[in-house]
Amino acid sequence: MRRWLPNRRDFMVAGAAALVVPVTARAQESYAGQSLTAEKSKFSVLGSENPLTDVWRFKTTGDLPILRARQGEEFRFHIFNQLETDIWLHFFGVRGPSDMMTVAAPAGPNADVEVVFTPPDAGTFWFGPLLDASRQRDMGLTGLLIVEEAQPVSDLVDVPIMIDDWMVDEQGKMDGSFGNLEAAIGEGRLGNWFTVNGAYKPSIAVDRAKTSRLRLLNACNTRTISLQFKNIDLVIIAEDGQPVKPRPVGLDPVQLLPGQRMDLLGISAAEKAVISLDLQEDVVELAFLVAKGQAGDGVADNFALPANPLAVADLTKSREIPLVLAGGAKGGLQSAKVGEEDLPLRNMLEKGLAWAMNGIAGLGGPMLFEAVRGETIVLVVENKTGFSQPLHIHGHVWRLIEQDGKAMDDQPWRDTILIPRLSGAKLLLVADNPGSWAIQSMIAERSDAGLIGGFRVN
């Protein structure tokens, strides 16, 4: 099956528009000199005693695929693509300029793409491919963008926790059935093996003298993860990069949709804490936090991260815009607009398309909507599909204000929200970031198969 993808012009018009020592939070005079190289590599997905798995990865100056910037300061780095395929790299959750949030990194030994922007928000964000996402994300092309606060938060040490699943056989060979129609119209591509920071069950050193700031990312293509923590007390301080009123994790599992992030403070920990994945039918250990040294004073009882500079929404002057999700297995989709054509479902499937937003499949066609900069928008989402849909908005944040007719009060600002199957929701946002953007499914296979659409802020 051939996967339809918009060409460069279409996209720019419609869519761009083991003991591991953690990377510590530190005051830096400059973030210059960073680079990101996409290359072939090998991971110990099955563990050190088993065959290695051929993967793709983003190589940076450190051991992990992490870029660092500071809030309100110019951030400049270079992308090199040593693979044999082009990459459309997107910065998920970052409210930066539209021409820099999705950039083309063409394949080739001499390709050098410079990216320059000033991040307005501090927080935990991530980067990965926007197009051909099922293959490129599943092969390992994801990484963290950590934007440190304008005024450094002292006595915290960053502990990146990037969780991914892999579809491999017992010899560590990757399942190469990318573009599979059954996965595209169904649940997506679920891996059967799990890693943290590219390693199988790593032991991660944490310093008791400082408070650990766990920066979690669900890097899975499809899987919503449910995490359990043992022998450590944790407090949630940020979700999707946006600070929240601190609250203890307690006994309930921490759930993250694909692409979601969460920042946790480790208030107290035993010598060896355990991070596990609840699979309902089983619980799988993912990683271990190994505490070293003497305990420090910790953070103040009233500790909270400083708020990011978000625009104030005015519901009294808001405009409602419908967003209808359709398609997938038994989803009732009969036809959709693909580019400038109206195609019946049979012809869509021949192009690898099976989903649509407002009757539009993928980028390259009409915009879902246009807004004036500063306008308050209420997206009235109707999920007509038989699947729950994790939706992500580019360049903005939104807030759930209504679920199936029930008002939802005091919800946090997020960039990724779950819309349950056959249900409706209202999402509040301020269209304060000019340019061409997208709303997409965070399940990579569905996004590739059409569940992504563009909007423009003028």
3-state secondary structure the chain: CCCCCCCHHHHHHHCCCCEECCCCCCCCCCCCCEEEEEEEEEEECCCCCCCCEEEEEEECCCCCCEEEEECCCCEEEEEEECCCCCEEEEEECCCCCHHHHEEEECCCCCCCEEEEECCCCCEEEEEEECCCHHHHHHCCCCEEEEEECCCCCCCEEEEEEEEEEECECCCCCECCCCCCHHHHHCCCCCCCEEEECCECCCEEEEECCCEEEEEEEECCCCCCEEEEEEEEEEEEEEECCEEEEEEECCCCCEEECCCCEEEEEEEEEEEEEEEEEECCCCEEEEEEEEEECCCCCCCCCCCCCCCCCCCCCCHHHCEEEEEEEEECCCCCCCEEEECCEEEEHHHHHHCCCCEEECCECCCCCCCCEEECCCEEEEEEEEECCCCCEEEEECCCCEEEEEECCEECCCCCCECEEEECCCCEEEEEEEECCCEEEEEEECCHHHHHCCCEEEEEEC
Instruction: Provide the pLDDT for residue 1.
Output: 35
Instruction: Assign domain 315-457 to its CATH architecture.
Output: Sandwich (2.60)
19 pLDDT tier (thresholds 50, 70, 90): very low
Instruction: Provide the pLDDT for residue 199.
Output: 95
User: Taking the CB of residue 98, how many other CB atoms lie within 10 A of it?
Assistant: 18
Average pLDDT rounded to a whole number, residues 232-257: 95
Residue 361 has pLDDT above 70, yes or no: yes
Instruction: Provide the pLDDT for residue 215.
Output: 99
Residue 62 has pLDDT above 60, yes or no: yes
Query: Domain boundaries in the chain?
Result: 315-457
Q: Could you tell me if 266 and 211 are in contact, meaning their C-beta atoms sit under 8 angstroms apart? A: yes
More confident residue, 75 or 12: 75
Q: What is the reported pTM?
A: 0.92
15 pLDDT tier (thresholds 50, 70, 90): very low
Angle at 94 between CA 139 and CA 227, to 5 degrees: 55
* Average pLDDT, rounded, for the chain: 91
Average pLDDT rounded to a whole number, residues 276-302: 89
Average pLDDT rounded to a whole number, residues 340-348: 97
Structure-derived torsion over alpha carbons of residues 215, 198, 220, 398, reported in degrees to the nearest 10: 20
Q: b vs e for 431-450, b when ≥16 Cβ sit within 10 Å of the residue's Cβ?
A: bbbbbbbbbbbbbbbbbbbb
298 pLDDT tier (thresholds 50, 70, 90): confident
d(CA 16, CA 109): 25
Instruction: Provide the pLDDT for residue 372.
Output: 98
Write the CA distances from 113 to 30, 36, 38, 88, 102, integer angstroms.
20, 10, 12, 11, 12
Average pLDDT rounded to a whole number, residues 273-284: 95
N- to C-terminal Cα separation, the chain: 37
Residue 28 has pLDDT above 60, yes or no: no
Average pLDDT rounded to a whole number, residues 50-68: 94
Q: Write the pLDDT tens digit of every residue in 31-46.
A: 667 999 999 999 999 9
Q: Write the pLDDT tens digit of every residue in 179-190.
A: 888 999 999 999
109 pLDDT tier (thresholds 50, 70, 90): confident
Instruction: Provide the pLDDT for residue 9.
Output: 37
